Structures are given as structure tokens and as C-alpha cells.
Structure 1
């Protein structure tokens, strides 16, 4: 995500005006009108949303503004992303920390808003979750009851849990009867190489292509986790914001005093810990000695990402494709059974591919890979 004053691209500026016009046209509607902004990881959705929200809040808090006196909120169902927005608010004249919340407390409070912005809308719960104090059918339906306009930022390739499993059909059914405008962001802004972004797209769909060798991006494969870590430490010294990440294929328990470790060949590093501070995980210097996960890195831009592909990610020589074994994926909370029965092997496989896609697209300037499974590692090295 980019700070409020970051320069938007021409595509982003055009869409920003479309969103603002949509809000102005529907901010008094009796039934929520919905603007859906879609785009792949790294296309600048959050940066655009931040700019639009700041513009709306400036109008809301300026006497005589088009939206003067309106109440607006930005929601995101991800702790680390919420902290990023809090940092943005601390640097922006028109934003307050209280403008940003998680969806569940906003819904449970029952307070209505004129415009509700939802970043990473694919993380909204799509089933009851009593543990998180959400007992209704799905969060999007509840949010539609509480606003005149809802702005959804959505990427269904970043769904990482069955309890927030959304499909195009589910979105269409939930939005039926509402005024809806859809726009797609297409430009890849995080990864400096479009050819590497296309290679990752293929990888996250199970296809292994010959890796590109762009002049402005480092794509490296390592024989062991130790040289991967050494490379990340050197990139962090040179450029900052370089971190080791991993798929959730290594044992861990939340809220324990003792660390849980990621084993990548000869490398043994502790998992990230629960972050009780207001600073995002990757912006804390000591986390260079930890391994990040989607829980700490989703929505955050790194300069370099060193990604460990764990035991659930393998390779089948006969088909020349990446294979997924959900039984070896340690984040079993991601697979908590749904009452509607939506927890097939295909659903679980898709979630793991989504995790891979998220992790591999974190780095702006470089990506390093180490695969725990020898078959996949050797195939990557051969390519």
C-alpha cells in the first residue's frame, strides 16, 4: 500500500474519478449501491482505495464539501493491513485512526455509515464464525444493510480460508438487486517485471514455465534455505524491506511462548510471532530473523521476498505440473469445515495456490525460491 500522497497512475486516476462520481450519485440511496474494484495482487488496489478514501474524508470534513458531514469507514479483515492503514492515517490531515476498523466490530456495533470501503473484500467471512463473534450468514450481506454506498476491493485469487471462501456466483447472488458498477485494475505496479509476474501467474495455476531473466528484477532459485536467507539478509542491507516467507507447511501454534520453526534444508528459523504492536511485521527490523506468513505479509510491499515452498507443494514429472497435497498443509484452520459442505479437495488445493500467489508477488525488485520437496527443487533448478 502507498501513502496518501503517492502518485497514482493514469489508470488509477481514471478509476478514482469513477469511484468518486459513483459515491456522489448514490450517497443518499435507500438501498446500498456497490462499486466493485477488482485486480490481481500488486495492481495497486489498496493504494487507489487509500487515495479515494482520503479524498472522501477531506470532503466529509470540509465545510461546503460535496460530502460534508457524511460518516465513512474503511474496513479490512486483516490485522497487519489495518496497521498499515493506521500508519497512513497518522500522516494524513483528513484521516483519523478511528476511520479504520475490522468488519466484525463494525457490524456488531450496528452503526450505519454513508460510505463503507472494504479492502481485501475476499477476506470477509462467508459463513458464521462464533469464535470471532460473527453469527450471521455472511459479512457482505450485513454490511450492505449499514451503508448507502459500499466500495468493494476484491481479488478472488487471494481467498485463503474456507470460512471466507467467495466465488463469483456467491458475490453475484449477494449483490443481486443492488446497483453495481464493476471496474478492473490491470497494471502490475508492485513487481517491476511483467514477465516475472506472468511466470508467477502460471506457477500459481500449476504450470512451470522457463523463468524469464529481466534486467530489472532478480528471480533466483536456491539449492538450500541457508543461501536463500543469506541473499535476503544482503538485499535487506542494500535495499531494506527484504524478508523470508513460507507457505504454512510447518507446524505452529498461535499464542505460545516457545517459538515454532521453519525447516528449509539446513536453514532453521522461527515463524513470525503474534504482533501486538501497531507497526506492521515487516517494518520491524528484528523480523529479518523470522519467517513471515500470509498472516503478517498479505497486503504489504517488500523489495525482496525469499519464499520457502513447503511439503504441500510438489512436482509431478509425468505431467510436468506442480501438485498440491492439502493433507501436508499445517494451517488446518484454513480448512475448517463449512456447513454448506464447500470443502472439497479442489477447494483446499485452490486455497494453497492462492497462498503461493500471494507470497510470490510480495517482492518489488526480486524473488528467491527454495522448495523443500526435492522433485520440485530440482525441476526449478533445471529450468
Structure 2
């Protein structure tokens, strides 16, 4: 097969199987890189080894360039080699990091290829227990001279301590390097029974290994956010009991757990994941939010390697065979879509199968956790009614569909009435706005301009509290960075201007990407939207209400904004849900500002205190703290004993 034919074939299969469009870089790699590995295999007498191209990592959308499958020459057992092809001819490692800059890379560079291969190997091992430690990895730098390759090898470049260098290799373009690559492969791989070994992998039951389940249990339950109480504990125990009692393929049990903002849905999901992992029940967490999944991965990262692969996205389960998992925890299920088709799918590759059906199919016990008033796009279908309807259409008995409602408030636990006041303000259930009764437990404030809001939140940050400013999607969003890595100040209100959160991180200026905006301290310098704020929280939140939701004397008016996904006949409901989500991100306080004078007047009439009044008291706290720190500094020469 010639190189161009191979590239066309791979492009078609990647589109059909992974629902992805091949990039120019991938097409060029397919034309050049595989044949360089094939030549080494043939020259080393390994022509019978099975070569798999663009294999799934089994836990994410990432793909492995090449997987070499055969038998170990000494024991005859399964042996695989993960190959990462790089067309780099020159490179350098950024000082103080393991990031590699190369032609075509972004300024922040790419992940070190050895660490990339190691992550692929570990992920395969975690989801194909049959591999155990029967794997190796290599980086094929087939265009790099020896001097460039040396920059990536310790001690010239330090790697993560968990990487097993005995199993990893890097080879460049030099003839000696190609010969050494063949010798390395011949020591760990043979073509004997390669077809049989390939069938074992192809037919294997893809699921988290027992070791990964144990690691998940230790990582998740080892970092409890708070102790579950009453109804949260009852919900977890009910699902756990169902799993312990056993179930059959034809006796699926579907759980629909609903609750408003801050009722502990996500922590309940983590507790359930930890408990089920502890008993070895194959359980995976799924969500529809990049920012949320990334935050959860960061939450458990560092405890045990590879645990973060248990946190997946809804659309990744479209190819699972029926009942591959015991339990699939679908968190933030209000973000479920009608189907799992991606925008770049070809017409012939699209599927009419509902995403809800795919998720129910994937596990014997699917668990959906959601807040129906957090549906914020017209293509989202995550409601209890829709999940129940699909389950019934799939033939699941009514008695096997369990509904649980959560009401205890954790996020605004010091003022649980805030959420109901906010819902009345926004017009849910045809309610009318009612006066706000100031609470010691929750600081609700109004601002006359966004600068007042920003000044107040900066004081809170100075007092070691977390804060973010969010806004309705009423201003255009320039995703491309400006010269010097600066973000465009798209949000302009009178003399105040700020950028939206960045689409991708800009390390040069300490600007986090959209997935980490809510948790990176530098995120305060940008304004977040519904897609970066939903599912997350901080101590104090500032909300800019734009012209898409304004008070008109005795009713709310929902107008078109910059987000086409929030339009259509359900615009009023979707925009209202967006502001409900944004205004409930703060645990201890919220500051509301509207660009509309009539809406600002409404907040004043309802007795919401002005932020200027609260700022004066906060400045006193800040001054007291500064004086206390100064006094400490004046007498700070402690002995070793005083430190303890």
C-alpha cells in the first residue's frame, strides 16, 4: 500500500470510528512515519508483528499513533509496544519545565513525548488488565539528528518520577539509532502468535482494572469535600445497595437524582465513585463539561497515577458495548445532548441514537444527577422527564427507574433561602420579585457599575478568598490572542473593559485556558461565561447581566444575545437559567450588576444593599489584616521551637 493510499484510508476510518476530522499534520505523519517503523521491523526480522494504527487509548478521545502487537520472545506471552511518531527535526526543552518547543508548536510547547507515551501505556494497562506490565513504549523521532534527541534524554531533561525509563526509549534518524531501535524491539517482541495476541486485545472486555478501581477509591475518598448528610447519604446508600444486591443484563436499574445548585450532587457522585471502586465494581464518571471534568481530574491527580482517566465525557460512551460497565455516573446530566454527533461529523457518520440511550446502554446501573433548571442550550435535553421517557422506550420497567430529589443546601448553606429568592426574582413559576432580607450568612449586593464590583471582589481576594466575575453572553468573543499574548477587551461597559476567558492557555502571560479559568487564581483577570462557570463555584461571585434579560416594569424581557445556542422559542427559559446558574456560583456572596437601568432600579427597590456600603467595611478588615501582618513581621525571628 502506498503512503498516499494509507493516508486516505486512515482519514476515512478516523472520521467513521472516532468522529473526528484529520488535520494536515496527521495526514503528513501518516504519509511518512509508519513506513519508517515498518522498515525497522522488517530489517529486525519482525515482519509478522501486528501493527495497529491510530488506536484508541480506551479512556479518552486521544489516539495512539502505532501499537505493535506480538509475543515476548522469551516467555511467549502477550507483548505490546506503544509508538509515538514525531516529525521534529529540531527542538528545545523550556528551562525549568518538561515542555518541548519544536517547529509548528505553540509558544508554551508540547508535552514531553516520553511522558506522553508513558501516559498512553498506563491508560491501556488500566483499561486492559490483561496487559499487566507487558508493555513498552518508544518515541520515533525519525527526522531528528542525534544531538536533538539527546536533549530529551535524562539527565539532560528531567522526567516525572513515575515514568519507568526501563520501559521507554527514544530513537532518532541516524543509521545507528535505527539499528538500535530494531535490537530493542527484537528483545521484547516477536511475530510468533501475533495474530492470536491481536485477537485477545480485540475481544477484551474494556473496563477499569481492579488496580485502577482501588486507586480511584483511595484518591477520591481520600479527599472528601464534606461529609454527606441525610438525603445525600440515603441516595448514595440506595444506589450502592442496588449494586451489592446484584443485577442482570435484562434488569437495568436507572437512577435519576435531581437537586438545585449546591445540593451536593457532584460530591455525592464522587462518594459513590469511591465506594463502588472500593468493592471492585467497574464504575466510571461522565460529564458534558470540559471545565468540570478537568477540575475533577485535578482534584484526584497526584494520589495515584492514571486515576484521572475515570473522568470521561458523555460522547465517549457512544461506542461502548452493552453493559460494559457496572455503573456509569452521569454528573451534570442537564447537559445531555439529543445525540453524541459532533459538529464536524460527516453526514454518513451521524447517528440518530439518543445520547441518553447510549449512556443507559453502557452500564447495568446508569445514574443521572441533574438540575433541570440548569439547561442552558436549546440542544440540551437533560431533564428527568426525557430520561424517563427514553428508558421506558428501551423497555426498562417503570419499577426499575428510581427518582431521588435533593433539597439540603451546601453551597449557600448559611442562607438557603437565597436560591428561592433568586428564582422568584428571575420569574420562575410565574413568581414576582420580592424584597431581599439581608442575611449574616450570605452577602447579596448590587453594583451601579462593573468597576465597583471588581474593586469589591479584589478586596475579598486580598483577604484570601476566591472570586470570579461572570457575564451573560452579550458581547462578542475574540478567541485569537492579540500581539504579545494579550486578550482582546471584548466586554466594554462605559469606561470599564475586560476580556473574556481565554480559549487556550497563554503561559507567557499566566492566562489560564477555559478549562482552568474557574480554579486558576489568574482567572480573575478575565470574565467567565456560562460554559466556563457552570458546575463550579468560589467564595464570591460577580454577575454582569446584559441586555438579554431586563426588567420591564412588571415582567422580564429576554432578548437575543451572542449565543445562538440560547435562542429559539425557549430563549426566555434558557437565558433565565443562565443567570440562575451564574448567580449561584458564590458560596458566601454575590454581587449583581445590570447594564439596564430599569433592572438596576428593581434591585434597589427590593432592598439589595449597594456594594459601596459593604466595601467600606471590607476595607477596614483589609487594613486591620495589613496592620496585623506588619506587627508580625516586626517581631518575626522565631526559633526552631517556636515554629511548632
Which range, TM-score by smaller chain?
A: 0.7 to 0.9
Deviation string 1:284-332 (CA, Å, 9 cap, x unpaired) is 1211111111111111121000100011111111x2x33211x2x1111
| Corresponding position of 2:521 | 285
Q: Tell me by how many angstroms 1:140 deviates.
A: 0.7
SS of 1:105's equivalent in the other structure is helix
| Corresponding position of 2:577 | 354
Q: Is the 8 A contact 1:90 1:96 kept in 2?
A: yes
Q: Is the 8 A contact 1:122 1:154 kept in 2?
A: yes
Q: Tell me by how many angstroms 1:186 deviates.
A: 0.3
Is 1:250 aligned to 2:479, yes or no?
no
| Distance change >3 Å, CA 153–CA 247, structure 1 → 2 | same
Q: Is the 8 A contact 1:247 1:355 kept in 2?
A: yes
| Corresponding position of 1:11 | 231
Matches of 1:260 and 1:12 in 2, distance apart? 43
Is 1:126 aligned to 2:355, yes or no?
no
| Corresponding position of 1:117 | 329
Q: Tell me by how many angstroms 1:91 deviates.
A: 5.5
Relative to structure 2, which stretch is displaced further, 357-366 or 262-271? 262-271
| Corresponding position of 2:547 | 311
Q: Is the 8 A contact 1:4 1:54 kept in 2?
A: no
Matches of 2:381 and 2:481 in 1, distance apart? 28
Query: What are the residue-to-residue correspondences of 1:141-156 with 2, within 5 Å?
Result: 141-156=357-372
Q: Is the 8 A contact 2:337 2:380 kept in 1?
A: yes
| Corresponding position of 2:557 | 323
Query: What are the residue-to-residue correspondences of 1:145-294 with 2, within 5 Å?
Result: 145-176=361-392, 177-178=395-396, 179-191=400-412, 192-205=414-427, 207-254=432-479, 258-275=487-504, 280-294=516-530
Q: Is the 8 A contact 2:370 2:382 kept in 1?
A: no
Matches of 2:556 and 2:247 in 1, distance apart? 47
Q: Tell me by how many angstroms 1:101 deviates.
A: 0.6
Q: Is the 8 A contact 1:263 1:269 kept in 2?
A: yes
Matches of 2:586 and 2:361 in 1, distance apart? 38
| Distance change >3 Å, CA 132–CA 38, structure 1 → 2 | farther
| Distance change >3 Å, CA 143–CA 110, structure 1 → 2 | same
SS of 1:220's equivalent in the other structure is strand
Deviation string 1:248-278 (CA, Å, 9 cap, x unpaired) is 1111144565525223443211111124569
| Distance change >3 Å, CA 89–CA 202, structure 1 → 2 | same
Deviation string 1:169-198 (CA, Å, 9 cap, x unpaired) is 423311213211111110111013122222
SS of 1:283's equivalent in the other structure is coil
Q: Tell me by how many angstroms 1:202 deviates.
A: 1.1
Matches of 1:352 and 1:14 in 2, distance apart? 33
Is 1:102 aligned to 2:313, yes or no?
yes
Matches of 1:105 and 1:127 in 2, distance apart? 12
Q: Which residue of 40, 53, 70 maps to 2:260?
A: 40
Matches of 2:246 and 2:302 in 1, distance apart? 29
Q: Which residue of 240, 249, 252 maps to 1:20?
A: 240
Deviation string 1:143-168 (CA, Å, 9 cap, x unpaired) is 11121110110211011111113455
Query: What are the residue-to-residue correspondences of 1:292-303 with 2, within 5 Å?
Result: 292-303=528-539
Matches of 2:340 and 2:231 in 1, distance apart? 37
SS of 1:164's equivalent in the other structure is coil
Q: Is the 8 A contact 2:236 2:268 kept in 1?
A: yes
Is 1:81 aligned to 2:292, yes or no?
yes
Q: Is the 8 A contact 1:269 1:291 kept in 2?
A: yes
Q: Is the 8 A contact 1:118 1:152 kept in 2?
A: yes
Q: Is the 8 A contact 2:327 2:367 kept in 1?
A: yes
Q: Is the 8 A contact 1:54 1:95 kept in 2?
A: no
Instruction: Tell which has more relative contact order, 1 or 2 (C-alpha 8 A, sep 6+).
Output: 1
TM-score after normalising by structure 1: 0.87
Is 1:367 aligned to 2:367, yes or no?
no
| Distance change >3 Å, CA 93–CA 225, structure 1 → 2 | same
Structure 2 residue ranges without an equivalent (≥5)? 1-219, 506-512, 607-644
Relative to structure 2, which stretch is displaced further, 27-36 or 302-311? 27-36
SS of 2:236's equivalent in the other structure is helix
Q: Tell me by how many angstroms 1:8 deviates.
A: 1.6
Matches of 2:391 and 2:299 in 1, distance apart? 30
Matches of 2:256 and 2:305 in 1, distance apart? 24
Matches of 2:313 and 2:489 in 1, distance apart? 28
Q: Is the 8 A contact 1:307 1:370 kept in 2?
A: yes
SS of 1:15's equivalent in the other structure is helix
Q: Is the 8 A contact 2:318 2:340 kept in 1?
A: no
